[in-house]
Amino acid sequence: MRQSQRGQVDPFIVMDVMEAARAAEAAGRRVIHMEVGQPSTPAPEGARRALAAALDQPLGYTVALGIPELRQGIADLYQRWYGVTLDPARVVVTPGSSGAFILAFSALFDAGDKVALGAPGYPSYRQIMRAMSLDPVAIPTRLEDRFQPRPQDIPADAAGLMLASPGNPSGTMLSLDALRGLIQHAQAQGTAVISDEIYHGLSYGERAHSALEISDDVFIINSFSKYFSMTGWRVGWMVVPQSHLRTVERLAQNLFICPPHASQVAALAALDCHDEAQANLATYAENRRLMLDGLPKAGFDRIAPPDGAFYIYADVSAHTDDSVAFAAEILDRAGVAVTPGVDFDADRGRRMLRFSYARSTPEIAEGLARLQTFMAAR
């Protein structure tokens, strides 16, 4: 049977690393997971209790945009975090942030449109765009800019600009002024802005700024996966301009029918689990401290210290020009799973590795010790 050309997207390499790590564990090895951006903590206790209490009720279809109580709760979050008053009608609950990307790209762009995005960046942006016959245009970013794009680098013919702060794989953030400069430059040339804010709530100093603090004429994407430790629950959200709401609603009705009802029940309760989420953040902060101290001792010292999320992106060109092979060697000899940079930057990622510190603090400490031993013997 024939296959579509647009279906020939690149693999998500971190998933391949996860499978290799799983195979090693199945063979009896203990692996320290620094490859995947997944919290090791469960969903908040309040979220789990709320779902348990709802299991005797029918959990059927909800309205396409999500249950009203959850949309209101998310709108209230913007008031608490950013001081932004948000009409809950503009909130769209989605099947994870991945569902939000599909809705946003469908609502904003036509086949062949160019969408600019910083490199390194989250690989699924590019692959979803390619599967939708869009043309992702990489903006090569620099270590001295902390892996964030500059306004003058936005192509004049770009239909869209994808931003991420904190970014994946770098964990670096845009200041309010830098974010404003990018948004205003893009809007002045007719370029739509999509802001991926999935790591908001996970920062280690200054808080992250939402694009909604600058403009209502932007698409915001977020999720319960990271700050709320709900990756497998597949519930995210987006904030859209009023002008695009009915378009997004029609797309959501037909593409997804609705987000998972059970996950929406849990997500609504998770919004009130502030203390548990902040305790997780304190763990990540300690893990970050250990990583910034321990990675240079292992020889990985060319990094931009992350402002948020739970990643460190390291230049390993002093050790290799093949990050895929290097990551495989680290897994084989040290029992530590890390992600090759080619996932995030096809051109320069062969000289980069991403280290995640989303696991428990004892696991991070053990992983660092293993890396130091491995590199000393290499």
Report domain extents, the chain. 13-42+275-377, 58-273
**CB-count burial class (<10 Å; 0-12, 13-18, 19+) for 362:** exposed
pLDDT surpasses 90 at 198: yes
Contact yes or no for 213/184 (Cβ under 8 A)? no
Nearest C-alpha neighbor of 309 from the set 118, 146, 129, 166? 166
Degrees, nearest 5: CA angle 132-6-325: 110
CATH 3.40.50.300 for domain 58-273: no
Q: What is the fold of 13-42+275-377?
A: Aspartate Aminotransferase; domain 2 (3.40.640)
pLDDT band at 143 (very low <50, low <70, confident <90, very high): confident
Instruction: Say if 13-42+275-377 and 58-273 have the same CATH topology.
Output: yes
pLDDT tens per residue across span 278-334: 999 999 999 999 999 999 999 999 998 999 999 999 999 999 999 999 999 999 999
Q: Mean pLDDT for the chain?
A: 96
pLDDT tens per residue across span 55-109: 999 999 999 999 999 999 999 999 999 999 999 999 999 999 999 999 999 999 9
pLDDT band at 13 (very low <50, low <70, confident <90, very high): confident
pLDDT surpasses 90 at 15: no
pTM above 0.85, yes or no: yes
